[in-house]
Chain A
Amino acid sequence: MTYENFKNELFDISKKLGLDACEINYEGEKEFNLSLANGELDSYKDAESFKVKVVVLKNGKSGAAFTEILENPEKIINEAVENMEIVESEEIVNLHDGSGEYLNAELYKGNFEKEDVSDKLKFIKNIYDAAKSDSRIKMVPNIVYQNFVSDIRIANTYGLDKKSKSDGGFCYSMTVAEDVSPRSGFYYEVGKSPENLTLAIGEKAKEDAIAKIGSKSVKSGKYNIIINNMAFSDILSLLNSMISAENVQKEISPLKGKIDQKIGSDILTVKDIAIYPGSLTNRTFDREGFPTSDKTIIENGVLKTFLYDIKAALKENKKSTGNSTQGGIAPVNMVIEPGKLSFEELVKELGNGIIITEVEGMHSGANPVSGEFSLGAKGLLVENGEITKGVEQITLSDNFIVMLSKIKAIGNDTLLSYSNIITPSVIIENVDIAGNE
């Protein structure tokens, strides 16, 4: 059965069953992936799939079911109805009717699909050569090149009917340098076209590993630190769940009751930007078909708004902010407003301290409910404004909200990440570091 036929039949059945509304959410995905292990082609993946989710609505309650076979719409709708009937919560939900102003943006370029596989292979071989171009690099275990196309369609019986196709890609390289203990290096770039990906992926992965040769741990204590753009975008993922109105309503956000209060340093401004140049997460409508839009989340340290989907908005008599995603509510692109200092100037400004270049354990050592985190980390030591050596085997611990108020400087070295978080490097004062020395 074609998608259109399946959709029309679904909507007919929904009327016959006396439902208030029915929605279909189609997500098609194409994936291409090429990887090298130690310079040799290791794996190649070329794939396509789709998934359809059906949502039914009656008396403010909803239920959902999904399928990967476009047959028997009746069975799927019945499953969604069964799931609706077991919902006990009195919270009202609704579906969007397609009203509102949608941004105009072409999110599909098609350049990754046009690029020949042999050119992609040549490109990652060049990255390998760049990464390996120093005798201290013992191996380059992994280089991965990936691009995708996502085809999203959403329609419902209230009149919503939206389609969006987008594409993009990324490439990363891992390196290992020889030392008493092996030292790993890593770098990645993301882009909307193959030409956005550069040989810097190999160069910087190489430099990252080499800079770590001779790394030592440090004495436990309070340090002033720089968290570089890559590591800070990992840590900021804690903010994703804290600014979700759903989590605030569930009382599992430490930001509950903090609207219009100062929660961060004066220089911290965080925005949600629907279309950020080059970002892979750009959207013109969210998972519920609601239009996306730009907004300020934190302005000069003051919390301005939480983010809403339809259900969370109805609870507070508000409108959705167009931030419904697959895993809950989140910014389309969480963008930290850059400052004026270059990374080198940040290092001078820091004077003495540690640059954190990598954190590990975000999924386990960071608690978005309490804001407390304790993470494995590595980086570089800064003495008198100069990078002097690598730092290994340390942990970084603080409360996330307390940390936001200790941001002393923000760089201008904004990095596009794989995720929805786009940030420059920052200086943070007085952070707990534990080490071995």
Chain B
Amino acid sequence: MLSKSLIEKILMAVLRNGGDFAEVFVEKRYDNRISMKQNLVEKAISGNEFGVGIRGFLGDKAVYAYSNDVSETNLISVAERVGKTLGEIKIKDTVLNFNKVEYKENNRVFLYPNDIDKKEKILIMKKASESAKNYSQLIKQVIVNYWEYDQSVLIANTEGVWAEDRRVRTRLMIQSVAEQNGIMETGFYGPGAGMGFEFFNSLDPHEAGKRASRIADRMVKADPAPAGKMPVIISNEFGGVIFHEAVGHSLEATSVSKGASVFCDKLGQKIASDCVSAVDDGTIANAWGSSNVDDEGTPTKRNILVENGILKGYMVDKLGARKMKTEVTGSSRRMNYKYAPTSRMTNTFILPGKSYPEEIISNTEYGIFAKSMGGGSVQPATGEFNFAINEGYLIENGKITKPVRGATLIGRGNEIITKIDMVGNDIGRGQGMCGSVSGSIPADVGQPTIRVSEILVGGKNK
């Protein structure tokens, strides 16, 4: 990556010109993508990215610059510019003593992207593609994408942090299109992990392909979802996107430190119903959103966000900690060196409760069962969120009766979290990409099956 003496020179070049804190982030990444259509490889692109991000603070003011001209002259001049922009010189002379951040390797990888021939990866894709295509006569098109990357980072700062981490991620994404009577619907499934090719020891590509096609096949036969307020049961795994959008984003220092969150000043207060406890845990071995250290070099942690309905904590990065006068939580992340890091979620999920999923359904007279969720979004300042149901069913008299399509759920995070009235015992996690100010990053969401007693379903009117 870069030599210790160069890193020292960069950090000192910032401080000599201004600021009270400086940080260097060096990133090297190999990225590989293969895409397949109708069982044939259509496109393949791979390559390397390499760049350096330099950040300085003066109090709670931050300046960030990046470059991939990594010559010493350029990096020093970028560092000087960062310092000058901060202006005021707070520290005249300091000796940097780096302490290597030690951690137990929590995300061991056995087969790195470059250890495995691309042909092996194509075989996996074909298995998924074939089983998706053969799922039913209605499946007209199957597109399979394979994505993997191997990212090495080095983070050093003027507080003496010296941290290195290597993150490997692998993801298989299947999109199936079903057609019936001129109507087209899609199904998507995209499992991933913080693993190398050994991910496919635990993931069966046949099953993954079937799952994408099941959604497309059922939804193309479905009637439009009804519109209006009603109970909604949200299945486990990716269903956890409800907590991620409705609550999670509003607990990030990014919005809390600006006063722009509905959960500001609510620590220790009851914000959710008793049955809701939730965590953000970046330490789960080989999970999609895990790492050993965050992108500021702080070791990741299991952070309790909500416990029995009481707000226990926020997710806080270094700048957020300065503004909020609190501690960092190992939750600072960024897409790559082109973004300054900020507080983000890692693997976020609602903890299991006592109910059996079947019991939750049989206790519901009328409503929607959301089996697979799509993505969503939120405005933390107002708490308003939305997210889409990709695979939905109608519940009538405690029984699932028929598939329904095209429903979006909307509400306010601070209201909806008080309306979760049943929590299942079947916890599971799902993988997604989360977009925010520091770019698009891999994030796990999760939950057991839950019921929201009342939420607005945006379907069609009869």
The answer to the question of B90 belonging to the interface, with a C-beta cut-off of 8 Å to chain A, is no
Smallest Cβ distance from B13 to chain A, in angstroms?
Answer: 15
The answer to the question of B259 belonging to the interface, with a C-beta cut-off of 8 Å to chain A, is yes
The answer to the question of A196 belonging to the interface, with a C-beta cut-off of 8 Å to chain B, is no
Kindly state the interface size class of chain A when it binds its partner: 35 or more
Q: Which of A65, A87, A365, A436 contacts B456 (CB 8 A)?
A: A436
Q: Please, which residues of chain A bring their CB within 8 A of the CB of B383?
A: 181-182
Q: Which residues of B36-65 are within 8 A (CB) of A?
A: 37, 40-51, 61-65
Q: Please, which residues of chain A bring their CB within 8 A of the CB of B44?
A: 63-64, 83-84, 86-87
Known: A142-B260, A364-B374, A434-B461. A395 touches B227 (CB 8 A): yes
Q: Which residues of A32-49 are within 8 A (CB) of B?
A: 37-38, 40-49
A364 touches B388 (CB 8 A): yes
The answer to the question of B22 belonging to the interface, with a C-beta cut-off of 8 Å to chain A, is no
Smallest Cβ distance from A301 to chain B, in angstroms?
Answer: 20
B-contact bits for A56-79, CB 8 A (1 contact / 0 none): 000000011111110000001001
| Alpha-carbon gap, A374 to B407, bound state (A) | 6
The answer to the question of B132 belonging to the interface, with a C-beta cut-off of 8 Å to chain A, is no
Q: Please, which residues of chain B bring their CB within 8 A of the CB of A38?
A: 258-259
Kindly state the interface size class of chain B when it binds its partner: 35 or more
B340 touches A251 (CB 8 A): no
B184 touches A432 (CB 8 A): no
The answer to the question of A5 belonging to the interface, with a C-beta cut-off of 8 Å to chain B, is no
Q: Please, which residues of chain B bring their CB within 8 A of the CB of A42?
A: 61-62, 258
Known: A47-B338, A181-B412, A221-B461. A67 touches B65 (CB 8 A): no
Q: Which of B66, B186, B224, B340 contacts A367 (CB 8 A)?
A: B186
The answer to the question of A183 belonging to the interface, with a C-beta cut-off of 8 Å to chain B, is yes
The answer to the question of A214 belonging to the interface, with a C-beta cut-off of 8 Å to chain B, is no
A49 touches B46 (CB 8 A): no
Known: A83-B46, A369-B185. A49 touches B338 (CB 8 A): yes
The answer to the question of B229 belonging to the interface, with a C-beta cut-off of 8 Å to chain A, is yes
Q: Please, which residues of chain A bring their CB within 8 A of the CB of B412?
A: 181, 393
A86 touches B118 (CB 8 A): yes
Q: Please, which residues of chain A bring their CB within 8 A of the CB of B338?
A: 31, 47, 49
B-contact bits for A254-265, CB 8 A (1 contact / 0 none): 100000000000
A222 touches B461 (CB 8 A): yes
Q: Which residues of A417-437 are within 8 A (CB) of B?
A: 432, 434-436
Known: A250-B143, A363-B377. A397 touches B65 (CB 8 A): no
Classify the interface of chain B: helix, strand, loop or mixed. strand
The answer to the question of B398 belonging to the interface, with a C-beta cut-off of 8 Å to chain A, is no
A141 touches B459 (CB 8 A): no
Closest to B378 in A: A360
A-contact bits for B358-387, CB 8 A (1 contact / 0 none): 000000000000000011110101111111
The answer to the question of B68 belonging to the interface, with a C-beta cut-off of 8 Å to chain A, is yes
B45 touches A83 (CB 8 A): yes
Classify the interface of chain A: helix, strand, loop or mixed. strand
A68 touches B48 (CB 8 A): yes
| Alpha-carbon gap, A2 to B255, bound state (A) | 43
A395 touches B408 (CB 8 A): yes
Smallest Cβ distance from B109 to chain A, in angstroms?
Answer: 21
A43 touches B377 (CB 8 A): no
The answer to the question of B328 belonging to the interface, with a C-beta cut-off of 8 Å to chain A, is no
B51 touches A49 (CB 8 A): yes
| Alpha-carbon gap, A43 to B227, bound state (A) | 42
The answer to the question of A129 belonging to the interface, with a C-beta cut-off of 8 Å to chain B, is no
The answer to the question of B249 belonging to the interface, with a C-beta cut-off of 8 Å to chain A, is no
The answer to the question of B208 belonging to the interface, with a C-beta cut-off of 8 Å to chain A, is no
Q: Please, which residues of chain B bring their CB within 8 A of the CB of A373?
A: 406
Give the most central of B42, B225, B375, B406: most A CB within 10 Å.
B406
Closest to A370 in B: B184
The answer to the question of A88 belonging to the interface, with a C-beta cut-off of 8 Å to chain B, is yes
A141 touches B408 (CB 8 A): no
Known: A48-B67, A393-B411. A375 touches B46 (CB 8 A): no
A374 touches B67 (CB 8 A): no
Q: Which residues of A108-148 are within 8 A (CB) of B?
A: 117, 139, 141-142
The answer to the question of B34 belonging to the interface, with a C-beta cut-off of 8 Å to chain A, is yes
B140 touches A375 (CB 8 A): no
Q: Which of B259, B386, B461 contacts A360 (CB 8 A)?
A: B386
B43 touches A252 (CB 8 A): no
| Alpha-carbon gap, A367 to B385, bound state (A) | 18
B183 touches A370 (CB 8 A): yes
The answer to the question of A220 belonging to the interface, with a C-beta cut-off of 8 Å to chain B, is yes
Q: Please, which residues of chain B bring their CB within 8 A of the CB of A432?
A: 227, 459-461
Smallest Cβ distance from B348 to chain A, in angstroms?
Answer: 17
Give the most central of B43, B383, B410: most A CB within 10 Å.
B410
The answer to the question of B119 belonging to the interface, with a C-beta cut-off of 8 Å to chain A, is yes
| Alpha-carbon gap, A373 to B374, bound state (A) | 13
A-contact bits for B82-114, CB 8 A (1 contact / 0 none): 000100000000000000000000000000000
Not counting A44-B64, A142-B258, A397-B458, a sample of 20 additional A-B residue pairs whose C-beta atoms are within 8 angstroms of each other reads A42-B258, A46-B64, A47-B67, A63-B45, A66-B47, A67-B47, A68-B50, A68-B68, A83-B44, A87-B43, A141-B381, A174-B381, A360-B386, A360-B410, A361-B387, A364-B376, A372-B185, A375-B386, A375-B408, A436-B456
- CB-defined A-B contacts under 8 Å, sample of 7: A46-B64, A49-B66, A68-B51, A139-B260, A434-B227, A434-B459, A436-B229
| Interfacial residues, chain B to chain A (CB-CB below 8 A) | 34, 37, 40-51, 61-69, 81, 85, 118-119, 122, 140-141, 143, 177, 179, 183-186, 224-225, 227-229, 255, 258-260, 262, 338, 340, 374-377, 379, 381-388, 405-408, 410-412, 456-461
Q: Closest 5 CB pairs between A and B?
A: A395-B458, A376-B386, A66-B47, A434-B227, A364-B375
| Interfacial residues, chain A to chain B (CB-CB below 8 A) | 31, 37-38, 40-51, 53, 63-69, 76, 79, 82-84, 86-91, 117, 139, 141-142, 174, 176, 181-184, 217, 220-222, 250-252, 254, 360-361, 363-365, 367, 369-370, 372-376, 378, 392-397, 432, 434-436
